[in-house]
Amino acid sequence: MQKVDLKEKFTLFTEQWRPKIVGELNGQYVKIAKLQGEFVWHLHEDEDELFFVVHGQLTIKLKDRDIDLSEGQFFIVPRGVEHLPVAHSECHVMLFEPKTVRNTGNVQNERTVEHSERI
């Protein structure tokens, strides 16, 4: 039972696209990640996923439109919906999702992180 300071947590790592666990509740994880560039199109069959922008800007591309997010905005990607996160400059996000989520969803490639680190 410790409070979590997001800004402090973001100083603890530099890697991009590797979400870190910063909290756990009700079978869900709170994670944070640094994102830059383009990820990979994927979907999560059984999990909804929340992206909250803490710093910078993030575009979540969907098949039919783009969702442009700035600091203080969030978007929930419903289960089964293909999406592609894109950040032109480094963006800091907080994620809220079930513990079972794999970052690349139905895709497995070099960006897949099977077990997120807890910081």
Q: Which residues between 82 and 101 bind its own copies (CB under 8 A)? A: 96-98
Of 4-12, 13-21, 35-43, 103-111, which segment contacts its own copies by CB under 8 A? 4-12
> Which two structure tokens, joined as six digits, stand for 52?
């909250």
State which of residues 47, 85, 87, 91 lies at the interface with its own copies (CB under 8 A): 47
Q: Is the CB of 45 or the CB of 110 nearer to its own copies?
A: 45
Q: Is residue 59 a contact residue for its own copies (CB under 8 A)? A: no
State which of residues 17, 31, 39, 49 lies at the interface with its own copies (CB under 8 A): 49
Q: Is the CB of 9 or the CB of 111 nearer to its own copies?
A: 9
Alpha-carbon span 113 to 17, nearest angstrom:
9
Of 11-19, 26-34, 102-110, 111-119, which segment contacts its own copies by CB under 8 A? 26-34
Residue 100 gets which letter from DSSP?
T
Alpha-carbon span 114 to 105, nearest angstrom:
10
Reduced to 3 states (helix: H, G, I; strand: E, B; else coil), residue 7 is: helix
Q: Which amino acid is at 16?
A: Q
Alpha carbon of residue 81 to chain centroid? 15
Residue 112 gets which letter from DSSP?
-
